[in-house]
């Protein structure tokens, strides 16, 4: 690891342009190392150590253990705005199937104590690498910018725990309060392109577990029981109407029952059923309608069955909406278009149904935020597509998406794009000139 803290630091005074050329091979090595050694959410110890060592070698003021494994770097450069740049660090319990020579074979121990394979199947290794690259350039070339930079390496994004853990650990009070929060995510877009939109960018997600209580008994005597499988099935059926009848055309919500478990033997009626539900919404008003409607349906179906006990709802996790400030996004898009050419900045025609906890920082700090996606897929796969407008959401056959066991961003030009996008976006606030 010492190696990386050396190689991803530049001599003070190295101009950014030249520095980037020097850095890129080292960043590629770092990326391959991170990719080979992913860690589960809130257990990003090796990654955090590596990040902290590198930041220190570059000259940042580093704080570790913020929200368990989070790392924060601060760098001052005279008067000027405070810009926050964020990367997330965690991998996923997925068995890698990329065939890469730097593929992960590591395992981790999940919250239930089970040993599971781990993979950087969501590209957070790319995020860490790019932000460390940008940090190196900022630290080496003070002529580039002014004000204060705060770099955040966040744990536990996949479980919606990390950003909140850092805020709960005093993030806002302990570090310079940002004027803007910037973040990025690699995805199945052509490498070299950047995709974003003002307003709602990604869905809010609310997940919870529901226990439905029946009364078990012999399979031949249902009259002495309250059948939780009939109850749970009625819940699932009836929840469809929450989406189909309570969400307006033009609004959207997704209500997924991802898990239904009840019973073991065919001739025994079980006592309980357990459902796990995930809800995606893009608008707080829709969310405020859908969540209580689900609860209403579940309670009513338990009543319809004559359940001996009310259903039990327990939260699993919840992600806020990711909303790009309109004015700030305009600044970022203009800056990115300036840096990359406007043909590489693709408008996103509508929000993604995926979710992020990036918004937690800006909400806590009371400042605007902007988030963007950048491509990690081989551009050749998109050659036949017109990448304007809605094509930004086209997914060619065979391009693996995030969370897939085959997810494997191409290193070049993905890393370079990610580093330069951070610098360009921040420059819309802190450019020295």
Exposed / middle / buried, residue 99 (Cβ in 10 Å: 0-12, 13-18, 19+)? exposed
Indicate whether 394 belongs to the interface with its own copies (CB under 8 A).
Answer: no
First and final C-alpha spacing in the chain: 36
Q: Which residues in 347-376 contact its own copies (CB under 8 A)?
A: 350-351, 353-355
Degrees to nearest 5, angle at CA 124 with 185 and 52: 120
Shortest reach from residue 226's CB to its own copies, in Å:
8
Q: Are 138 and 25 in contact (CB under 8 A)?
A: no
Q: What is the DSSP letter of 391?
A: G
Contacting residues for 120 by C-beta, under 8 A, at least 6 apart = 34, 35, 38, 91, 92, 104
Binding of its own copies at residue 261 (CB under 8 A)? yes
* Contacting residues for 155 by C-beta, under 8 A, at least 6 apart: 41, 42, 43, 44, 48, 67, 68, 69, 70, 88, 89, 90, 161, 162, 165, 166
From the list 63, 77, 233, 363, which residue makes contact with its own copies (rule: CB under 8 A)? 233
Closest distance of CB 394 from its own copies, Å:
12
**Least separation, in Å, of the C-beta of 161 and its own copies?**
15
Which region among 54-62, 114-122, 134-142, 271-279 touches its own copies (by CB under 8 A)? 271-279
Q: How many residues touch its own copies (CB under 8 A)?
A: 79
Binding of its own copies by 254 (CB under 8 A): yes
385 is a site residue for its own copies (CB under 8 A): no
DSSP letter, residue 27: H
238 binds its own copies (CB under 8 A): yes
Name the DSSP class of 89: -
Nearer to its own copies, 214 or 418 (CB): 214
- φ and ψ at 199, to 5 degrees? 80, -150
**The only residue of 12, 170, 284, 306 in contact with its own copies, by rule CB under 8 A:** 306
Please report how close the Cβ of residue 345 comes to its own copies at its closest, in angstroms. Answer: 20
Nearest distance from C-beta of residue 349 to its own copies, angstroms: 8
* Per CB under 8 A, 240 contacts its own copies: yes
- Enumerate residues 196-225 that contact its own copies by CB under 8 A: 203, 205, 207-209, 218-223, 225
- By CB under 8 A, residue 400 contacts its own copies: no
Q: How far is the CB of 216 from its own copies (least distance, A)?
A: 10
- The verdict on 161 binding its own copies (CB under 8 A) reads no
CA distance readout (Å), 184 to 78, 128, 163, 207, 218? 26, 11, 15, 24, 55
Min dist CB 298 to its own copies, Å, is 9
Nearest in space to 231 (alpha carbons), one of 296, 299, 314: 299
Residue from 153, 85, 25, 1 nearest 10 by CA: 25
Which residue among 113, 173, 267, 398 contacts its own copies (CB under 8 A)? Answer: 267
- Asked if 300 is part of the footprint of its own copies (rule: CB under 8 A), the reply reads yes
Query: Please, what is the minimum distance in Å from the beta carbon of residue 418 to its own copies?
Result: 23
Looking only at the bridges linking them, the beta strands covering 345-347 and 194-196 are parallel
Q: Which is nearer to its own copies, 80 or 347 (CB)?
A: 347
316 near its own copies, judged by CB under 8 A:
yes
């Amino acid at each position: 690891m010492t190696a990386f803290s050396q190689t991803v630091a530049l001599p003070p005074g190295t101009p950014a342009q030249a520095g980037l050329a020097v850095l890129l091979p080292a960043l590629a090595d770092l990326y391959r190392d991170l990719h080979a050694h992913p860690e589960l959410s809130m257990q990003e110890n090796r990654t955090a150590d590596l990040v902290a060592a590198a930041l220190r070698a570059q000259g940042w003021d580093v704080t570790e253990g913020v929200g368990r494994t989070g790392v924060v770097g601060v760098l001052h450069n005279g008067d000027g705005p405070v810009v926050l740049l964020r990367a997330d660090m965690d991998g996923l319990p997925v068995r890698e199937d990329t065939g890469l020579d730097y593929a992960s074979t590591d395992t981790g121990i999940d919250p239930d104590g089970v040993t599971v394979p781990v993979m950087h199947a969501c590209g957070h290794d790319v995020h860490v690498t790019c932000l460390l690259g940008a940090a190196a350039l900022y630290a080496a070339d003070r002529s580039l910018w002014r004000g204060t930079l705060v770099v955040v390496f966040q744990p536990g994004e996949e479980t919606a725990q990390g950003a909140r853990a850092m805020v709960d650990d005093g993030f806002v009070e302990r570090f310079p309060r940002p004027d803007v929060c910037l973040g990025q995510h690699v995805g199945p877009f052509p490498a070299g392109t950047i995709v974003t939109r003002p307003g709602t960018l990604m869905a809010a997600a609310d997940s919870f577990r529901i226990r439905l209580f029946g009364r078990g008994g012999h399979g031949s005597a249902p009259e002495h029981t309250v059948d939780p499988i009939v109850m749970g099935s009625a819940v699932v059926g009836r929840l469809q109407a929450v989406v189909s009848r309570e969400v307006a055309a033009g609004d959207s919500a997704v209500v997924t029952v991802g898990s239904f478990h009840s019973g073991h033997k065919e001739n025994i009626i079980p006592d309980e059923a357990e459902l796990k539900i995930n809800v995606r919404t893009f608008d707080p008003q829709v969310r405020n309608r859908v969540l209580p409607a689900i609860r209403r349906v579940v309670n009513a179906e338990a009543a319809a069955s004559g359940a001996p006990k009310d259903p039990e709802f327990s939260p699993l996790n919840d992600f806020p909406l990711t909303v790009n400030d309109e004015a700030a996004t305009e600044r970022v898009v203009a800056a990115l278009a300036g840096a990359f050419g406007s043909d590489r900045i693709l408008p996103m025609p509508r929000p993604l149904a995926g979710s992020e906890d990036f918004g937690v920082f800006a909400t806590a700090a009371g400042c605007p935020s902007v988030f963007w996606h950048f491509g990690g897929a081989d551009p050749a796969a998109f050659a036949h597509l017109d990448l304007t407008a809605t094509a930004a959401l086209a997914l060619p056959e065979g391009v693996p998406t995030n969370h897939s066991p085959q997810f494997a961003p191409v290193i070049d030009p993905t890393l370079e794009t990610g580093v330069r996008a951070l610098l360009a976006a921040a420059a819309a606030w802190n450019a020295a000139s």
